[in-house]
Each structure stands twice: as structure tokens, then as C-alpha cells.
């Protein structure tokens, strides 16, 4: 049964992709598939539904960037509260080659500090407020930029049943390589 309807839903996904971004397309195709299954009178415990969604993983982008300042320890805790299976965060090196969890090559967009990340040391960076420009829900005063070790410790502590996953570190096109992480 699943194999016979798969080509149709792949086509729906591709058509959605022509008009929307990748994430929106996957979400829209999933909603359309779910609605079609409901209108056909199928229950949510149907074998097709289970097969389609059994391996679905929900990944928090930059921790949980919509509910807390991105790439912070608070974003990890918020992602866990929402029940995500995994989180993605960004790593960049400071001027003294310490790996920090931060997205941009400069501090300008998310902090009140200006300048290149690699122009400051970890000692200087660890006091920067990563929540100063956060405008989402919740109150996260003085949330700092975490070191990679702190972020990994928080992940291990937050997901008490254990953290599984893999590390994929890519070199930033705008800065030093993060290969030693």
C-alpha cells in the first residue's frame, strides 16, 4: 500500500518545492497527506501512517531559536521542553582557537558587541550577552555565548536518558576551520 502512494506524495512535495522553501514544502506535503488520509477515513494508527512517521526526527534549529536566544544553553532547555529528538547548533573558533557555539562570524546581529568573533579570546567572549537582541517569547536575561564543552555538558544533563547523535563540523567559509573540534 505504502509503495503505491509514495510516488504521488513525492510529486506533491516537488510541486510544493517549486513555490515554497524546502522546510515549508515538507511541512505542507505532510499536512496535505495527513488531511487526505483523514478524509479517506483512515485512523492515525494505520500502517501507512505509522510507516511514514515512525522514523521522523524533530530537530531543534540552533537549539530552539524561536523560543530562546539561538545557540544558547537556554535554547537547549527549551528544545527539550518541546520534545525535540535532537538539536543542531553552530560552532566557530575564537581568536585563541576555542570552539564556541555561535552562528555568525561577527557579534553584531545577536549581541550588543561589534566585530569579528576571531578578534576576541574566549575569556573576552564568555561574558557577552547573547540575549540582548532576542525578541521572542520568554525572558532570558544575560544568556551568554557558550563554549562547546558547556553546550555538550548541557545536552547530556538535559537529556537524562542519554544523548545520541553524531558530530559534523564544517569549516566556516568566513573564518578559521573548526576541524580540531
CA distance 178 to 151: 16
Q: Which residues lie closer than 8 Å to 41 by C-beta, 6 or more apart?
A: none
pLDDT at 64 over 90: no
CA distance 173 to 157: 32
Neighbours of 61 (CB within 10 A): 17
pLDDT one-digit tens code per residue, 83-140 = 887 788 889 999 999 999 999 999 999 999 999 999 999 999 999 999 999 998 888 8
Q: Can you give the pLDDT at residue 174?
A: 42
Q: Can you give the pLDDT at residue 31?
A: 67
Higher pLDDT among residues 58 and 120, named by residue? 120
Q: Can you give the pLDDT at residue 131?
A: 92
pLDDT one-digit tens code per residue, 75-85 = 988 888 888 87
Q: Decide if 68 contacts 41 (C-beta within 8 A).
A: no
Q: Within 13 A of 104's CA, how many CA atoms are on the CB side?
A: 12
The region of weakest confidence among 4-18, 24-38, 144-158, 160-174 is: 160-174
3-state secondary structure of 18: helix
pLDDT one-digit tens code per residue, 136-173 = 888 888 899 999 999 888 888 877 655 444 444 444 44
pLDDT at 13 over 70: no
Q: Can you give the pLDDT at residue 97?
A: 93
Prediction pTM value:
0.63
Element at 92 (helix H, strand E): strand 91-93
Amino acid at each position: 500500500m505504502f509503495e503505491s502512494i509514495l510516488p504521488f506524495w513525492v510529486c506533491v512535495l516537488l510541486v510544493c518545492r517549486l513555490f515554497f522553501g524546502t522546510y515549508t514544502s515538507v511541512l505542507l506535503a505532510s499536512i496535505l497527506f495527513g488531511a487526505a488520509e483523514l478524509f479517506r477515513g483512515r485512523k492515525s494508527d494505520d500502517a501507512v501512517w505509522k510507516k511514514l512517521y515512525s522514523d521522523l526526527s524533530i530537530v531543534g534549529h540552533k537549539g530552539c531559536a524561536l523560543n530562546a536566544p539561538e545557540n544558547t544553553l537556554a535554547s537547549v532547555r527549551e528544545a527539550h521542553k518541546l520534545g525535540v529528538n535532537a538539536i543542531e547548533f553552530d560552532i566557530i573558533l575564537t581568536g585563541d582557537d576555542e570552539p564556541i557555539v555561535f552562528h555568525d562570524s561577527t557579534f553584531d546581529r545577536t549581541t550588543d558587541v561589534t566585530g569579528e568573533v576571531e578578534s576576541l579570546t574566549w575569556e573576552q567572549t564568555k561574558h557577552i550577552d547573547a540575549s540582548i537582541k532576542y525578541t521572542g517569547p520568554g525572558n532570558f536575561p544575560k544568556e551568554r555565548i557558550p563554549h562547546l564543552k558547556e553546550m555538550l555538558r548541557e545536552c547530556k544533563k538535559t537529556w537524562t536518558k542519554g544523548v545520541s547523535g553524531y558530530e559534523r563540523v564544517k569549516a566556516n567559509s568566513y573564518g578559521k576551520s573548526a576541524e580540531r573540534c
